[in-house]
Structure 1
Amino acid sequence: MDAFVKNKAIAGIGTDILYLNHIQKVYSRFGERFPRRILGEQELEKFFSRSSRDFQRGLRFLATRFAAKEAFSKAIGLGMHMPMYWSGMQVLNAPSGKPIVVLSEPLKSWYEERFGVAHVSLTDEADIVMAFVIVESKSA
């Protein structure tokens, strides 16, 4: 067995799936207040950039990030209760394109005391988006 795999344990798993039209309805009702409440600073920049070129593409971005935050909150066992908060967890992209979890304080310190690496996977189809998160145990 590979040493990398041998020393890892799963501390939490979370998933979320939602219909894109649900996010569309919330956005239609609240406008820009909705993404400003949900997205972190870097996510918000990407959302506005994508939306300016193609609104549906921006909406998919917003929906996948919403799902990722829900899945992450389930994986760490908090739900949306402090120190977990919407904009405190961002899903950004590594140079390779791989989605990565980036945390802000106070969530970052709380998380680092308890857990190791968080892995996130996102997908979207015509009318559905989904996120899956695996949180590793903290290394010994």
Structure 2
Amino acid sequence: MIYGIGTDICDIRRVQAVLDRQGERFAQRVLGETELAVWRQRRQRWPRRGLSYLATRFSAKEAFSKAIGLGMRTPMTWRDCEILNEAGGRPVIVLHGALREWFDDRRLRAHVTVTDETDYAATFVVVEQS
């Protein structure tokens, strides 16, 4: 049964503007530990890919927060929700701490897709309840 659906579109140019103002602090606030390591690696090798990665993760977390119906309120936090990739590239949502407990207590399962194009990143999340 579908518990919730969330979608988000993010203007990558706005993410760049925030990075220009705040530097890495913005990424440290939004990304979990594993995401942060990936972002730093991509940013170093290909700055544009690093920017797109950050924008898609920001967008995915916004969409996920909408799908679970909490918005950005506890237990939903930026860093306790990570959007990682399986070996084949498929994005998956990995939760930590109180958010994971909240999610598991409700027997929820999430599906996520992310995409980006020149100026925009977009995400769609479906959360199911078993």
Scaled to the shorter chain, the TM-score interval is: over 0.9
Aligned to 2:5: 13
Aligned residue identity for 1:75: A
The two structures have a TM-score, normalised by structure 1, of 0.91
* Aligned-residue identity in percent: 52
* Secondary structure of the structure 1 residue equivalent to 2:79: helix
Alpha-carbon deviations, 1:63-90, whole Å to 9, x = none? 0000000000000000000000001100
TM-score, with structure 2 as normaliser: 0.98
Deviation at 1:103, TM superposition (A): 0.2
Matched, 1:23 2:15: yes
Is this contact kept in 2: 1:11–1:115, CA < 8 A? Answer: no
Q: Secondary structure at the match of 2:127?
A: strand
Asked whether 1:121 is paired with 2:113, we answer: yes
When the two chains are superposed, the root-mean-square deviation of aligned CA atoms in Å is: 0.7
Inter-partner Cα distance in structure 2 for 1:13 and 1:70: 11
Q: Does 1:76 align with 2:47?
A: no
> Which residue of the other structure, out of 77, 90, 97, is the alignment partner of 1:105?
97
| Greater than 4 Å deviation, 4+ residue runs | none
The SS at the match of 1:120 is strand
Q: Distance in 2 between matches of 1:110 and 1:116?
A: 9
**Distance in structure 2 (CA, Å) of the matches to 1:93 and 1:113:** 24
Larger Rg: 1
Give the Cα separation in 1 of the matches to 2:89 and 2:51: 19
Is contact 1:90-1:103 (8 Å) kept?
yes
Shift of 1:22: 0.6
